[in-house]
Amino acid sequence: MISHVEPALRTLGRLSADLAAGSPSHHLVERLVDDLGRPLGLDFSIRYELPPAAGELRLHTTIGVAEQHRPALEVVPLGDAVCGLVAEQRRPEAHARVDADPDERLSLARELDATAYASFPLVAGPALLGTLSLGSRTRAEFGAAELALLALAADLVTAAAARERDREAVASALAAHGEAQERIAHLETALVTNRTIAMAIGIVMTRLGVTEERAHRWLVEASQRTNRKVRVLAERIVQTGQLPT
């Protein structure tokens, strides 16, 4: 057991360094599986994310999972399968001898030929970000010390995922702010244009002694005749007080 725990501790140190260096969460999971593939018999990982206000887990990334299995893994409702229950209860689960366990919740794990399987919730404060499941196709079970170390690794992945979600939230807020500013600018331009056209119509009404409707029609016809936009023509009339000939 000690021979298994020591490399896991070294991996935790590297994961901590990766996190401090700003590495993305998927990089941490890749290192976890790569580093501990031999000592802990880790063969695959399944990472789910829980979008805000969603009632289901959505597949984020997998390692060591054949493409043919991905369609069945794409979406898992909260409370379904092992990872869905782990997400709903926010409590990790570990299962031994999965191949001989008839539990229906392990059907997906059995399809992946898992023999030992552990799933961890990715919880940052009050927010549930998703789950991280790790499996072995050679180990009958993960020991208590190994599970404790894997839980710590999941915590580091959680920290990286939380940082990424914060960045996404900031980027989304900035994009929304930019769009709002653009809409405001368009509205301001439209208001100025409408005000200018209204002033020009008033000048036409005064100079020609016509109704507002007739003055508006005259302005449109003058725009077509002079090949200038109504806005440009209106600005010219307001600035000079003169009507085009």
Residue listed under structure tokens 């003058």: 222
Residue 77, number of CB atoms within 10 A of its CB = 13
Distance CA 231, CA 236 (A): 9
Give the SS3 label for residue 210.
Answer: coil
- What is the pLDDT at residue 192? 63
**222 with 233: CB under 8 angstroms?**
yes
Distance CA 83, CA 57 (A): 9
Q: Of 23, 15, 42, which Cα lies nearest the Cα of 155?
A: 15
- What is the pLDDT at residue 2? 44
Strand (E) or helix (H) holding 39: none
Q: Parse the chain into domains and list their residue ranges.
A: 2-168, 179-240
Alpha helices in the chain (DSSP H): 2-20, 25-36, 70-73, 81-89, 107-111, 144-208, 212-226, 230-240
- What is the pLDDT at residue 94? 95
The end-to-end CA distance of the chain, in Å, is: 97
Q: How is residue 201 written in tokens?
A: 């119509």
Task: Give me the amino acid identity at 34.
Answer: D
Q: How is residue 118 written in tokens?
A: 């552990």
Q: In the chain, which residues have pLDDT < 70?
A: 1-5, 168-181, 183-192
Residue 99, number of CB atoms within 10 A of its CB = 13
Q: Domain 2-168 has what CATH class?
A: alpha beta
- What is the pLDDT at residue 97? 95
Question: 3.40.50.970, 1.10.10.10, 3.90.1150.10, 3.40.50.1700: which CATH number matches 179-240?
Answer: 1.10.10.10
